[in-house]
Copies of this chain bind each other. A is one copy, B any other.
Amino acid sequence: MSPAPDVALGLDIGGSSTRALVVGSDGTRHGSGRAPGANLTSHSAESGLAAVAAALSAALRGLDPARVRAAVIGTAGPKNLAVPEIAAALDRIWLDAGLGCGYEVVADATVAFVAGTGDPDGTLVLSGTGALVARVEHRRLAQIVDGHGWLLGDQGSGFWLGREAVRRTLRALDRRVEPGPLGQAVLHRLVGTTPTGSARDVSAELVFTVHRRLPVALAELAPLVTAAAGADPVADDILDLAAGHLVEETEIVRRLGDGTVVVLAGSLLSTDTPLARRVRRGLTTRWPGAAIAVAHDAAAGAAWLGLSRSGTLDSEQATALHSRLFGRPA
């Protein structure tokens, strides 16, 4: 009888959800867990750590935790997890879950790339709440463009789309022009069904409402922009600019003629959105030969990284496991 296959844990800590997945080296999914998003900075760690614990305990339910031999955590802020209080709290969660293995913390961008391709080299184009473009070498981020956060960057991200939608609405009101379908949708969402008063009253109320929320909540307006594509030239212009930023940033990290894979990741690029279509078009024009893959299951990407780095799989086995997990040739 052959020994029981190795088992690894993948944890994907994101702004909108936390996901845990336990996977065997034979591709068996032993358990999975999902919890709210976790932002593990010092002033919001408590709820974030609770989400991690909840996702972990759901994924390990009915499984002997001693079987887990490796774990990889993907997060937007790998450095946050190195802060002593947070590292200590995470160690306690690990202990409470009965996990004996250590864990490796990697950038969520690395995990996204791995979830999109079994190739070690290529380019990652990511747009979710934030945005970045990276050249990946040996499954490491060799050069990153943007990803600097909403205050200073994240061009072409969900936040950026949402903020542009509000800015264009304000611009119309400033010019005393009736906002188009996108502007109407923004006003409907943030000001109410029938804004009354002068254009300046309406814009003041819009500005006030935005400032009462967290800035990052502007990302929640991104679906209004994608929904208005084709129906409102303002939305099309915003999407053209967003795609333009992402494709220009790709040109910084990727030489023309480069034939490696491009992985699209993040909620705005991993499904068939008007932004994803524009980015694909821009990429195909510049790199006609390159394969474009899509990253779907970051937790599985993290688990696969754990198994492939644990040293028990050879390269061929890792490739076979990748295509089993992600359902397409690696």
User: What's the minimum C-beta distance from A73 to chain B, rounded to whole angstroms?
Assistant: 19
Return the CB mask of A159-182 against B: 1 if under 8 Å, else 0. Answer: 000010011001000111000000
- Report whether A144 and B174 are in contact in the complex, using a CB–CB cutoff of 8 Å: yes
- In the complex, whether A27 has a CB less than 8 A from a CB of chain B is no
- Report whether B146 and A174 are in contact in the complex, using a CB–CB cutoff of 8 Å: yes
- In the complex, whether A4 has a CB less than 8 A from a CB of chain B is no
**Residues of A in contact with B, size category:** 20 to 34
- In the complex, whether A152 has a CB less than 8 A from a CB of chain B is yes
A133-149 residues with Cβ-Cβ distance < 8 A to B are 143-146, 148-149
Return the CB mask of A96-134 against B: 1 if under 8 Å, else 0. Answer: 000000000000000000000000000000000000000
- In the complex, whether A54 has a CB less than 8 A from a CB of chain B is no
- Report whether B175 and A144 are in contact in the complex, using a CB–CB cutoff of 8 Å: no
- Report whether B203 and A151 are in contact in the complex, using a CB–CB cutoff of 8 Å: no
- Report whether B207 and A149 are in contact in the complex, using a CB–CB cutoff of 8 Å: yes
- In the complex, whether A200 has a CB less than 8 A from a CB of chain B is yes
Return the CB mask of A240-284 against B: 1 if under 8 Å, else 0. Answer: 000000000100100000000000000000000000000000000
- Report whether B207 and A152 are in contact in the complex, using a CB–CB cutoff of 8 Å: yes
- In the complex, whether A31 has a CB less than 8 A from a CB of chain B is no
Chain A interfacial positions (CB closer than 8 Å to B): 79, 143-146, 148-149, 151-153, 163, 166-167, 170, 174-176, 200, 203-204, 207, 210-211, 215, 249, 252
